[in-house]
Structures are given as C-alpha cells and as structure tokens.
C-alpha cells in the first residue's frame, strides 16, 4: 500500500457488498489506512469472516446485514453507522448482481433483480447517506461500475444498470456538490473474484479462494526463493497459461492480420501446415467464455475466424480496408483509427487438450516449468522468432517432480517451432487479457525450448 497508515484516521466508510471480492479488498485497504469500517451485504455468512480480517488490521468493523433493494434497510444501514461511529465520510456502492444471459432469454424477474440491486440499490444507499453528509458539510460517494457500463454480449441487464449508475453519478455530483459531497464512478475492469469466475469463467479451478487472485502469486513467490543457476540449452518445457498467452499474442501481432499477408510479412502460408496437428486457434468475439466484443471499431459485426485448423494456416482477419483490397468482406476486426497495424484478432481461443499440468510435469524426466514470459520482442516476423525472459516463477523439473526454483532464463526461439513440437495440451484454460481484448488458452508441454542465457535474479 502506498498510503500512510494514518491517511484515513478517524474516517468512517460504508462498503456495500463488503464481504467478498472488490468490496472486501476495498474494506481491507481502507482499514489499513486507518478508517473505521462498516460492511454490508445480504449474505451475513460472508460478512463476519471479512470483519475478522478487518479487525486484525487494528481497525473497528461494524457488520450490518442489508438488502440494498430495500430503501428502509439502506436507511437503517446509515443510521447504524452513525450510531456506532458518529458520522459517515465515505459510501462505496459496490453491491451488485450479475449473470450472463442472452437478452432474448432474460426473464422479467432476472431483469428486475439486477436493476434493483445495481441501479436502485446504489440510489437508495446514496440518498440514505445524503442527509448525514449534508449536515457534516462533506462526504464522498464512490460507485463501482465494474466493466459492463459500456455494454457487452450477455450483460444487457447489468450494462443498463451500470450505464444508469454512471449518469446518476454525474447528476448527483451536479446536485450535491454544493453541499461538499463528491461523487465518483470507478471502472476497475475484470477482477477475478468468485463472482467473476462464475459469470465470465475467467478461471476453471474449483475451490479458488476469493482473494482478488493473489494466492497463486504468493505461493509462487514463496516457492521461488533462493533460485539456483541452471545452464542454458534446450529443455522439455511446461508453459503455463500466462506464457502460452504470449505465444498467441505474437501470432496475432505478427501474422494473423490480412494486412501482414498482403505486405508479405506474415508466417501464414494459407493452406499449408505451419504447426503441429494438435494445434487449433480461432477468434470469436461472441463466445461468452471470453470477453465478448460483438462489433469492431468500424461498427462491423465480428465473425468467427478459424485461424489455424489442426496445424494448417486457414484464414486471417480483415477490416474494411484490407478486405476491399482483396474483394472480400470485413471479418469485423478493425482497430481504432488511425493505426498502421491493420486488423487484429482480439478474442482468440486455443483448442484445449486432455492433460493436466500435473500430468505434464509427471511425464518430464528433466525440464523446466515456466510461469510467464517477460519483455518479449520479435526477432524474425516470418519465423516468429521471439526473444525475452521468464518471470514470476521458473522451476526445474526432475524425475516428474518440480524440484527447485531456477534463476530466470533468457530465450530466443521460434514460437512456431514450440507449437510444432507440442507434446501435451492442458484440458483447463484461463482467460488472459491485454489491450482491447483477451485470449483463452491452455497450458502446454513442448519437446524443446531454447534457453540462451541466465539472468541475475
């Protein structure tokens, strides 16, 4: 945390939906900065464990079971906070409900539930806090928009609610600013809480803790202490999903564009085998297991494009300019203008296999487990030769077991060669995002990966 432990000393904050996910994270960080915390939720079983964590920081924490759809319960929430702490400085409207569903399948009850929790709940809590903040002469109301405020396939109810919250925020800011009350709306993006995992399937690991995604990083950091020096060379290598995501990003950047093919700088020799037969990659802006984006930045509907089918270069993506040059129709992959890159696949998927990462490790006599690549740069576009280093956990595998951490390794290798020598593909996938889009990828095991040097860390 970058703030002083006394930055919010004496400050009283109410966080709705404060028992889990984003709300829990906000409550803990504000507590560490010295605030007195009030957390509210319909599900009281989520509140007390979080309250115990808040109190462990030394901050007081009041638990109030509240259904934000009920105006009277919202008023009671604020009254309880004032009775306990004497004031309310900040209200964080974080409580929300969402589930993925096509608009034509949405029932009246489903629509009303999300609108009542997200939109109406935000208003009722804000209005309940208003007289207290007006009497104080100051106050802060923070509305959480998540990432659905701009719309997206399968989220019409949540998008309508979040869009309403955005305009509500601006309206109340104009009305209540004269009383010293500030209103802000925050769009934190996709955060891998349990709710997000359920709704968007960002991870497929049963039992993942609702910790904002930190447990894996902590475990890797602890296991990665005191790394040994490992000689460079070619090794059997298990690449976790984060590293495989880099492979797809470079394939998209260097060669899946119609412009790259037209300019003769793409590895995509259409109709020819370019990687192993067990590799299939496609782009689909409508697949709800990704981050759906149904239109491109020219307003053209996106079409599914099977880029590589069973190892064969099958198709590339087009915007209106590159499509017109070939007498074709746009596939709906334009980037914001102006740009020199041309069209780009923003919603890629790689076909999963039937292996687990544990099985990949167990089948390795001597090799390396790589969590992530870092500072990768292209060396040869046509061969997709990329140079970079490993990061966030690199480990030696011996006799089917992860033995010990090794210093991060430099590499210069062809991503096409890696995909041509893929021995196993994970059956689970993860969604990794970058820039405007995201790719859903499995882990893979490759027969050889060329590591050329060792870093000092």
> What digits encode the pLDDT tens for the residues 355-373?
999 999 999 999 999 999 9
Residue 83 three-state SS: helix
On whether the CB atoms of residues 182 and 141 are closer than 8 A, the answer is yes
Q: Which domains does the chain have, with CATH numbers?
A: 12-200 (3.40.50.720), 220-241+353-454 (no CATH)
> What's the pLDDT at 202?
41
Mean pLDDT for 411-419 is: 96
Measured between its terminal Cα atoms, the distance across the chain in Å is 24
Q: Could you report the per-residue pLDDT of 206-247, keeping only the tens digit for each? A: 443 444 455 677 788 888 889 999 999 999 999 999 999 999
Q: How confident is the model at residue 190 (pLDDT cuts 50, 70, 90)?
A: low
pLDDT higher than 60, residue 415: yes
C-alpha 328/C-alpha 44 separation (Å) is 57
Out of 40-49, 321-330, 391-400, least confident range: 40-49
Angle value at C-alpha 54, between 48 and 58, nearest 5 degrees: 130
């309403």: which residue's tokens? 164
The tokens describing 28, both together, are 């803990």
> What's the pLDDT at 439?
93
On whether the CB atoms of residues 400 and 442 are closer than 8 A, the answer is no
pLDDT higher than 50, residue 204: no
Kindly report the length of the chain: 457
Q: Is 109 exposed, middle or buried (0-12, 13-18, 19+ CB in 10 A)?
A: exposed
Q: Spell out the residues 6+ positions from residue 429 whose beta carbon is closer than 8 angstroms to its own.
A: 204, 241, 350, 352, 440, 441, 442
Residue 256 three-state SS: coil
Mean pLDDT for 243-271 is: 96
Q: Could you report the per-residue pLDDT of 97-113, keeping only the tens digit for each? A: 877 778 888 888 889 99
The tokens describing 262, both together, are 């037209």
C-alpha 186/C-alpha 94 separation (Å) is 10
Consecutive H or E run containing 241: helix 241-254
Consecutive H or E run containing 269: none
> What's the pLDDT at 341?
86
pLDDT higher than 70, residue 197: no
> What's the pLDDT at 365?
96
């Amino acid at each position: 945390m970058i703030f002083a432990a006394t930055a919010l000393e004496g400050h009283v904050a109410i966080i709705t939906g404060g028992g889990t996910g984003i709300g829990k994270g906000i409550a803990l960080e504000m507590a560490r900065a010295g605030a007195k915390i009030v957390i509210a939720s319909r599900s009281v079983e989520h509140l007390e464990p979080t309250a115990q964590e808040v109190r462990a920081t030394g901050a007081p924490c009041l638990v109030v079971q509240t259904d934000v759809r009920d105006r009277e319960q919202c008023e009671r929430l604020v009254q309880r906070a004032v009775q306990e702490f004497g004031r309310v400085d900040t209200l964080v409207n974080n409580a929300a409900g969402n589930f993925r569903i096509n608009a034509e399948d949405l029932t009246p009850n489903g629509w009303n539930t999300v609108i009542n929790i997200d939109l109406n709940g935000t208003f009722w809590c804000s209005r309940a806090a208003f007289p207290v903040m007006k009497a104080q002469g100051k106050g802060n109301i923070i509305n959480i928009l998540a990432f659905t405020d701009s719309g997206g396939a399968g989220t019409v109810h949540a998008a309508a609610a979040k869009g309403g919250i955005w305009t509500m925020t601006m309206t109340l800011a104009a009305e209540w600013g004269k009383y010293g009350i500030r209103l802000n709306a925050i769009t934190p993006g996709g955060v891998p809480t349990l709710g997000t995992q359920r709704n968007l399937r960002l991870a497929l690991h049963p039992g993942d803790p609702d910790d904002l995604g930190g447990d894996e990083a902590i475990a890797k950091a602890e296991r990665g202490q005191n790394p040994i020096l490992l000689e460079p060379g070619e090794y059997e290598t298990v690449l976790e999903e984060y590293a495989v995501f880099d492979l797809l990003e470079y394939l998209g950047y260097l060669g899946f564009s119609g412009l790259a093919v037209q300019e003769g700088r793409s590895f995509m020799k259409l109709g020819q085998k370019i990687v192993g037969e067990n590799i299939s990659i496609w782009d689909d802006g409508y697949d709800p297991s990704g981050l759906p984006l149904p239109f491109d930045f020219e307003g053209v509907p996106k079409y599914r494009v099977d880029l590589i089918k069973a190892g064969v270069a099958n198709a590339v993506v087009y915007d209106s300019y590159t499509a017109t040059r070939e007498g074709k129709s746009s596939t709906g992959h334009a980037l914001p203008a102006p740009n020199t890159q041309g069209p780009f696949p923003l919603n890629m998927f790689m076909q999963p296999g039937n292996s687990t990462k544990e099985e990949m490790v167990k089948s390795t006599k001597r090799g390396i487990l790589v969590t992530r690549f870092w500072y990768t740069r292209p060396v040869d576009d046509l061969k997709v030769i990329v140079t970079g280093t490993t990061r966030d956990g690199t480990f030696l595998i011996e006799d089917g077991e992860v033995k010990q951490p090794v210093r991060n390794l430099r590499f210069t290798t062809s991503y096409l060669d890696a995909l041509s020598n893929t021995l196993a593909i994970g059956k689970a996938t993860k969604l990794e995002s970058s820039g405007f889009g995201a790719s859903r990828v499995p882990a893979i095991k490759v027969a050889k990966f060329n590591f050329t040097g060792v870093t000092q860390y």
